Amino acid sequence: MYRVISTIIVIVLVRFSAIGQDISIHMMDSVYARTDVNPAFRFSNNLVFDLPGISAGAFTNGVAIGDLLIENGGLNELKLKEGMEDVNDINYVTGNMAVNFIGVGLNMGKWQLSTGYNWYYQGSINYTKDIFLLAANGNAPYIGETLDVGPELLLQSYHEVYIGASYQMSNITLGARIKLLSGINDISTDNASIKLTTEEEIYQLRVESDYVLNTTGILDYNGIKDVDIDADKLLDELFSNFLGDNIGLAFDFGLDWKVNDKFNISASILDLGKISWNKEVINYKSKGDNTFEGVDILDYIDDDQEVVLEDSLYNLLDFEESNEGYSTSVGARIQLSTRYQMSPKLTLGTNYYRASNTINSRYLLSVNCQYKTLPWFSIGTGYGISSNSPILIPLNTMFHIGFVDFYMSTENILSGFSITTTNVSSVKVGLQLGF
Amino acid sequence: MIIILSSCSDVEDISDADFVSDVSVAISLINTQLTLDSVSERLNGLTSIVIAPNGQVTIKYRSEVIRQDADDIFPVFPVIIDVPIVGPNSIWSLESLASLTDAFADNEIRKAIFQDNNVFFKLQHASDDDVIFTITIPEFTLGGEPFTRTYTVPPRLDEADVYNTVSVSLDDYLFLPVDNALSFIYTAVDSEGNTIDMTATAMKLDFLNFEYVEGYFGERIFDIQGDIIEVGLFDKWISGGLEFEDPKVSVRVENSFGFPVKTEFQKLQFKTINGTIYDIESGLIEEGVAFDYPSLDEVGEVKETSFDFNKSNSNIQQIFIDKVASVNYDIDALANPDADPTISGFLNKESYFRIDVSVDLPLNGIVNELVISDTLDFDLNEVEDVNSAEFKFVVRNDFPSTVNVQAVILNAQNNPIDVIFEGDGIILDAAMLGADGRTVNGETTIEYVNLPKDRINTIKEGKRIVLVAYIDSKNVSDDYLWFYSDYEIDFKLGAILNLEN
């Protein structure tokens, strides 16, 4: 099983990166992409074209998987025992990627309208400390104990087409977006309880399971040792199934309160909605209590049948297949932020951001500053903490050349941009045309 | 984009990495509750375990069941029988049949029902006109009416001209001979009613085949043949004794022939594991045993007769002390052993003998320092990645016998290279007897066997494993002890395997 889980972790990291770079985007006041975190945020141009941009990131609250890599004779070896001290009771590895293909904003005085098309991946796996210990040590050190070895899993990709509007009422701006979602593919757990007990007498193995794994045909389960995930279908089918099956809806709501000429408070709640998955659905369900107590040699009296322990062990986790449609939420996000205009060039701010998906959530808290060094260049940084990192140093830059704005940001410049050796790694780049 | 690409490079390092683990896996290997009851459910073939209502166990070794049907003993006689009819009122004695087949020697048919027979007549006369020939056989009746047929025999063309009538089925005709004879009554007239002398007349039967025959079938021997019963109990014997309180050879006969039959044993020999052959000594051999048989009122019923050679009517107990390996028997059946022709018996198409001979060993005995051994081939070369192992045996013995088990590994030259258990091996203490003569639950024995890497490597060179078991009941009782079906050896084996990648 640990090989399956490690494979999934690799898939999460390879195929996905994050939307977690929202630590400082609220400070980038002319960027259309700010409306992603609060539909009440306004852009300054009358007409804005948000050109293709990408944001990506990966997070873990547990062992950075790169720390497990040991080079030995020119070959990389993955040694789980290297991460024994860092593993938490519940660990997650999350990766996200968003490709903002196009966005168009229209400023109509008090009203601002926006529309666009985005494409999302999100991938997460939650694994317990018991899974890690079982993979690192085997079950022998835990004789007489019950280990919780049910991983939670989410691998999902979908299209998003949105229409948004904001309305400015004196010093308060309200905004909302409606998003039409079109699922591409999904693997997600519903119930995720698998408990493994190794009895003391002769190490009988008992598995109590209440596990549901839903897929849209990209996972093929033929026994615990034969799990095939066609991850390419998550990434490569970029334009597949657009507005076909697997339809969903989601909503964003936001508020931006201009307390005075210098101070703004804003709040938003995002991605309230779900996708209903109904294309090529396979549900794998395991519920029950199975025990392997050893082979009864009486079953082999006068029988040439070969005694095979392996099959009996794999049958401990027995899945039934069905084809019932299901739904998943796309993950709600909340942002609370403030901005204070210290001078025409310097803006200070704070930010609280919480992002969730169906199996885990992550928050971050930051103080930010944005400095406009030149009329065409500004830079921002700050300090933040998150649920999986005690220190985040964000960095963003914006270039404004004529009607072109180019920006990039990262949530943590200290990460060195390695998604395997640090707990937080993200980057966002974008380009917009403003008229 | 550079950043993203550099991140992907990191991940490729992971996906290409070798997974290195040195885990310890604990797993149960064997969990068997061995009772004679559970073994009996799984046995097939010629060995079985019979459990009495009180739970006492008997091992039964059988040979193939012998069966002989009516057609084997009285075969259908497929020759056309030419019965001469001499004059308008003639009698033909059935004793003439004895000259045709031994099956009818000394027979006296008193009643029979034909099956699949046809009859026709050969007729010859000297007239130039048609002759009306009418024949009646009073002993052949159907629904109470005697067999009567009329034929028009055409004028004779020459002296060799013989007229054959069409065949007539005799199915279901009842045949009731009078004084073991058959009578024919016929008339032969021309078209004007004048009696014509027949120059030759005969009846032709195509088969002597009856659905049912009643009468006396003579004193005769049916050769039922025999077989060899293999007794596998001592196949693995090395030394020591196993004494049974009451071993038996049991014979069970099913008989639906309706006449007296008794056994004639041509042979009942016991061969021991050392090759010594003993003939059994028993009055049953000399006197024979009469089979029960259905009476004339019980046609279609099957009668059972069972008898056995046991310690009270034979020397079988002494023979078994020498450890019997097989039993060779040959039985004949003697019909009408008293040669009393007044006895009227019967047979029909469904009549049969079925003889089932078995060696029955009631497990009531004394086990005296019995040592048995078995050698099994094995190959551990495919076991890889095991750095060391610890096996845990958890065993409980409810039998009233102490059992010591040792396992010795042999290399390709059959030299011992490892002894699995320390000392005398794993010891399963005997369960003690309760007041009712049955054992109370035995003590559980836990034994660990550690196999470090060097010992595993040694064992992997092995080609065979010799299992040796020492069994003794004397420390429980000097008397015979019954083994009951619910006595159990609870054998459990688990292992901790320290794996290296």
Give pLDDT tens digits for B218-243: 888 888 778 899 988 887 788 887 88
Cβ-nearest to B30 among A198, A297, A429: A297
Distances (CA, A) of B486 to B33, B49, B397, B482: 10, 13, 11, 12
The Cα–Cα gap between A425 and B8 comes to 12
Tell me if chain A has a CB within 8 Å of the CB of B376. no
Nearest to A257 by CA among A248, A266, A268, A249: A266
The Cα–Cα gap between A377 and B65 comes to 105
Burial of A299 (0-12, 13-18, 19+ CB in 10 A): exposed
Cβ-nearest to B28 among A203, A410, A419: A203
- Residues of chain B in contact with residue A13, where contact means CB-CB under 8 angstroms, are 11, 14
The Cα–Cα gap between A138 and B24 comes to 5
Cβ-nearest to A78 among B17, B32, B394: B17
What DSSP state is assigned to residue B298? Answer: G
Distances (CA, A) of B89 to B81, B142, B187: 20, 21, 9
The Cα–Cα gap between B38 and B43 comes to 9
**pLDDT band at residue B3 under the 50/70/90 scheme:** very low
Residue A369 has a CB neighbour count (10 Å cut-off) of 17
Closest residue in A to B22 (Cα) is A137
pLDDT score, position B133:
95
Token pair 């901005």: residue = A339
Residue B362 has a CB neighbour count (10 Å cut-off) of 21
Using only C-alpha atoms, chain A has a radius of gyration, in whole angstroms, of 25
**pLDDT band at residue B16 under the 50/70/90 scheme:** low
**pLDDT band at residue B375 under the 50/70/90 scheme:** confident
Contact B23/A137 with Cβ under 8 angstroms?
Answer: yes
Residue A110 has a CB neighbour count (10 Å cut-off) of 11
pLDDT score, position B132:
95
**Over 60: is that where the pLDDT of B12 sits?**
no
Question: Is the Cβ pair A14, B28 closer than 8 Å?
Answer: no
Instruction: Choose from A202, A235, A395 for mutation: most chain B CBs within 10 A.
Output: A202
Contacts of A223 (CB under 8 A, 6+ apart): A314
**Over 50: is that where the pLDDT of B155 sits?**
yes
Q: If phi over 0 gives left and psi between -120 and 50 gives alpha, with beta otherwise, what is residue B478?
A: alpha
pLDDT score, position A205:
95
Three-state secondary structure readout of chain A = CHHHHHHHHHHHHHHCCCCCCCCCHHHCCCCHHHHHCCCCCCCCCCEEEEEEEEEEEEEECCCCHHHHEEEECCEEEEEHHHHCCCCCCEEEEEEEEEEEEEEEEEEECCEEEEEEEEEEEEEEEEEEHHHHHHHHHCCHHHECCEEECCCEEEEEEEEEEEEEEEEEECCEEEEEEEEEEEEEEEEEEEEEEEEEEECCCCCCEEEEEEEEEEECCCEEECCCCCEEECCHHHHCCCCCCCCCCCEEEEEEEEEEEECCCCEEEEEEEEEEEEEEECCCCEEEEEEEEEEECCECHHHHCCCCCCCCHHHHHHCCCCCEEECCCEEEECCCEEEEEEEEECCCCEEEEEEEEEEECCCCEEEEEEEEEEEEEECCEEEEEEEEEECCEEEECCEEEEEEECCEEEEEEECCHHHCCCCCCCCEEEEEEEEEEEC
**Over 90: is that where the pLDDT of B107 sits?**
no
Question: Mean pLDDT across the stretch B244-250?
Answer: 92
- Residues of chain A in contact with residue B23, where contact means CB-CB under 8 angstroms, are 135-138, 140
Contacts of A343 (CB under 8 A, 6+ apart): none
CA A165 to chain centre: 27
Give pLDDT tens digits for B472-482: 998 888 889 99
Contact residues, A window 313-332, toward B, CB-based 8 Å cutoff: 313
Summary mean pLDDT of chain B: 87
Angle between helices A2-15 and A129-137 (to 10 degrees): 120
Question: Mean pLDDT across the stretch B36-47?
Answer: 77
The Cα–Cα gap between B229 and B356 comes to 11
Three-state secondary structure readout of B83-120 = EECCCCEEEEEHHHHHHCCHHHCCCEEEEEEECCCEEE
Per-residue pLDDT tens, chain A, 435 aa: give them.
Answer: 445 555 555 555 443 333 345 678 888 887 888 899 999 999 888 999 998 888 877 778 877 766 777 777 777 777 777 777 778 898 888 888 888 889 999 999 999 999 999 988 888 889 999 998 998 899 999 999 999 999 999 989 999 999 999 999 989 999 999 999 999 989 999 889 999 999 999 999 999 999 999 999 788 887 777 778 777 776 666 666 777 789 999 999 999 999 999 999 999 999 999 999 998 899 999 999 999 998 887 777 665 666 666 677 777 888 899 999 999 998 889 999 999 999 999 999 999 999 888 888 888 899 999 999 998 999 999 999 988 788 889 899 999 888 898 988 888 887 655 545 555 566 788 888 888
Q: In this structure, what token pair is assigned to residue A372?
A: 């406009």
Give the lowest-confidence range in A283-287, B21-25, B326-330. B21-25
Cβ-nearest to B14 among A65, A136, A292: A65
Cβ-nearest to B496 among A78, A140, A420: A140
**pLDDT band at residue B501 under the 50/70/90 scheme:** low
Distances (CA, A) of A143 to A196, A209, B115, B211: 10, 19, 78, 75
Burial of A306 (0-12, 13-18, 19+ CB in 10 A): exposed
Give pLDDT tens digits for B251-297: 999 999 999 999 888 889 999 998 999 999 999 998 889 989 999 99
Instruction: Choose from A11, A72, A75, A203 for mutation: most chain B CBs within 10 A.
Output: A203
**pLDDT band at residue B446 under the 50/70/90 scheme:** very high
Q: In this structure, what token pair is assigned to residue A7?
A: 């494979």
Domains of chain B: 19-56+366-499 (2.60.120), 57-71+218-362 (no CATH), 77-208 (2.60.310)
Strand locations in B126-179, DSSP E?
A: 131-142, 145-153, 163-164, 168-169, 174-175
Residue-range domain boundaries for chain A: 2-331+400-434
Question: Is the Cβ pair A301, B43 closer than 8 Å?
Answer: yes
The Cα–Cα gap between A290 and A315 comes to 8
pLDDT score, position A144:
96
Contact B222/B253 with Cβ under 8 angstroms?
Answer: no
The Cα–Cα gap between B103 and B107 comes to 8
Give pLDDT tens digits for B54-96: 999 999 998 888 888 888 777 666 666 788 899 899 998 888 7
pLDDT score, position A2:
47
Nearest to B221 by CA among B329, B305, B332: B332
Helix (H, G, I), strand (E, B) or coil at B454: helix
Question: Is the Cβ pair B1, A80 closer than 8 Å?
Answer: no
Contact B362/B50 with Cβ under 8 angstroms?
Answer: no
Give the lowest-confidence range in A380-394, B138-152, B304-318. A380-394
> How close does chain B come to A377, measured CA to CA in Å?
21
Give pLDDT tens digits for B400-441: 999 999 989 999 899 999 998 888 889 999 999 988 889 988
Tell me if chain B has a CB within 8 Å of the CB of A409. no
Tell me if chain B has a CB within 8 Å of the CB of A308. no
**Over 50: is that where the pLDDT of B2 sits?**
no
Contacts of A384 (CB under 8 A, 6+ apart): A23, A351, A364, A365, A366, A367, A391, A392, A393, A394, A411, A412
- Residues of chain B in contact with residue A141, where contact means CB-CB under 8 angstroms, are 24
- Residues of chain B in contact with residue A201, where contact means CB-CB under 8 angstroms, are 394, 492, 494
- Residues of chain A in contact with residue B16, where contact means CB-CB under 8 angstroms, are 76
pTM of this prediction?
A: 0.72
